[in-house]
A and B are shown apart, each in its own frame.
Chain A
Amino acid sequence: MVDKEFERPKGTEIVYERPKSLTDVVTHYCPGCTHGIAHRLVAEVLDELDARERAVLVAPVGCSVLAYNYFNLDTQQAAHGRAPAVATGIKRVLPDRVVFTYQGDGDLAAIGTAEIVHAAVRGERITVIFINNAIFGMTGGQMAPTTLLGQETTTSPKPTGRLAERAGYPIRVCEMLSQLDGAAYVARGSLSSPQNIAKAKRHIRKAFQAQLEGHGLGIVELLSSCNVGWKMSPVDALKWIDSHMVPVFPLGVFKDWSAAGVEAARLADSGVAAG
């Protein structure tokens, strides 16, 4: 990585630059993939919270398995689905560090369902960035637990796509986790448009705040595109998030410790008190 400062012409001001929490490396993501946007949002938030030097990332198995090359952070690469357990181990040893996982839908909502649920049950002070692209990107576009009914994948093929009778229904992770007392902040955003991206960044910041202030687990689900797995153009893929995914996975904040009344209820419940 070359950290060469360019001389800035007089009277100009930097309005956009690479966050310090990212490395200067070309990613392997497919053109049009939103993993890169998600990386950048997380990195911007870490920079803004001045957390880069005390952050520890837990990378998943999935297209973002190489996240340790792209984030300029201490990182542990975890076995498929186990990132919340690994993050638990790290956070319990280093309670003053900012520990977060970055996981896909196969990683978090299929093989790692038990790990994410119980990390939330325990109220682990970790942050979880959950990339829901309704598919297993890395292994070549197989059905994910979040694959929509009727959606074609290599294992839910034409002519029916995912069929409820055979393959069940898409799992709504935020709705499920928001039922757990140990989850302090649960929100779903989308990377489909500049407005949504700005909102998603606010969710991410809040999910880190939940950890920094010791409230419990913070998770942000990001509806993301996998234009290659979906066999669409990048632009169509973004439109498909809005037209097809949002109706099944509504956007919004499902749980927020800081919302009126929620805090009081949590404090009354000594089982999940901070400390």
Chain B
Amino acid sequence: MGQRVLMKGNEALAEAAVRAGCRFFFGYPITPQNEIPEYMSRRLPEVGGTFIQAESELAAINMVYGAAGAGARAMTSSSSPGVSLKQEGISYMAAAELPGVVVNMVRGGPGLGGIQPAQSDYYQATRGGGHGDYRTIVFGPATVQEGVDVMSKAFELADKYRTPVVILGDGMMGQMMEPVSLPEPLELAKLPLKPWATTGAKGRRPNIINSLFLDAEECEKHNLALQAKYDIIQATEQMAEIAFPDSDWFVVAYGTTARICREAIQEARAQGLSVGMVRPITLWPFPVNAFEKVVERAKGFLTVEMSLGQMVDDVRLAVNGRCPVRFFGRTGGMVPSDEEVLAEIEKMVEGRTR
């Protein structure tokens, strides 16, 4: 870990990507993530990399597809409406087993929505997002520092599993200035070789990057192979933080919302309430193991999101009826306040139904 610097979330993520060996960035402007392409447009040429402002998010993600298939660490970033357009390419990358990183600084939706922070793309990110039976690894960092940390991890896992990785931030985290420790830059020469990349069939049989399987039996086989990979990811790559694991009650939140909930939990504990937090860092794989650690003693969970209830489905699946799961959310760019969350915690503890 190198120097500690004060950086805006979006710029810190961009610099972290460069240090993780990303030399190819393809993007299309959209608020609230414009600092990422802007930063990349001046930073990448300094390290011999390439920045392209694409004609659309469709083109940008397909440039990532080509660059990843040619063996490079490549990424794109966008916000909700743009990420909807990228779903075509993400599905193709998952199918063709190409690594790559996609940042989504989520804003209020649906449609054009707004430009204020939201978490309403949780379903899209964690259920694959495009067509077909696939998943992407999804990180939901809560601080700028954690964003920087998961960026390195994102490129590492993308290469390791040959799969696209999504970093789900929100407008607030992108705009926030925080001190961060940046990692030392990775040496490109030390990155793992990619013998499958299309670099020209010199002295070997052609490499083919493909997602077409016209024969149904073959297509099923391919899906089962992908699934086997997802099973390994689910078993080994879950990340979560548990705060106050000995508590009776738990709040579940990720990203910026988790920071607000942390405040509310401090206040609740000051009042003598036994409240802790389960904070997923990987949203897929969903950190069910963390829930297993606390669910037997828990009297109830309160899921808080900047959406009308998406992650709460995964919490219910993890808890599997063993205790009540409540939900509180604001959406469309509205951010829950710590007072609101505290009030919901009190309701939960008192067993009140709204």
Contact = CB atoms under 8 A, between A and B. Distances in A.
Contacts of A115: 55, 58-59, 62
A53 B69 CA distance: 17
A230 B67 CA distance: 38
Interface string B61-98: 01111111111101000000000000011001000100
B63 A77 contact: no
B212 A77 contact: yes
A172 to B, nearest CB: 21
A241 B53 CA distance: 39
B5 interface: no
A58 B209 CA distance: 9
B230 interface: no
B52 A122 contact: yes
Interface stretch (A68-76, A175-183, A193-201): A68-76
Interface stretch (A88-96, A141-149, A151-159, A264-272): A88-96
Interface string B3-42: 0000000000000000000001010000000000000000
Q: Which of A75, A85, A94 has the most CB of B within 10 A?
A: A85
A56 B210 contact: no
A74 B199 contact: yes
Interface string B200-213: 11110011111110
A110 B101 CA distance: 29
Q: Looking at chain B's contact residues, is the secondary structure mostly helix, strand, loop, or mixed?
A: mixed
B54 interface: yes
Contacts of B64: 89
Given A93-B70, A93-B71, A97-B200, A75 B208 contact: yes
A98 B60 CA distance: 21
A73 B69 contact: no
A210 B19 CA distance: 35
Given A65-B212, A118-B55, A92 B200 contact: no
Given A53-B201, A93-B70, A72 B206 contact: yes
A79 B89 contact: yes
Most buried by A among B26, B64, B68, B199: B199
Contacts of B201: 52-53, 55, 72-74
A102 to B, nearest CB: 14
A159 B163 CA distance: 50
Contacts of B198: 56, 74-76, 90
6 contacts: A77-B210, A89-B62, A89-B66, A93-B74, A114-B56, A121-B55
A-B pairs with lowest CB-CB distance, top 6:
A89-B66, A89-B67, A85-B62, A86-B66, A74-B198, A118-B55
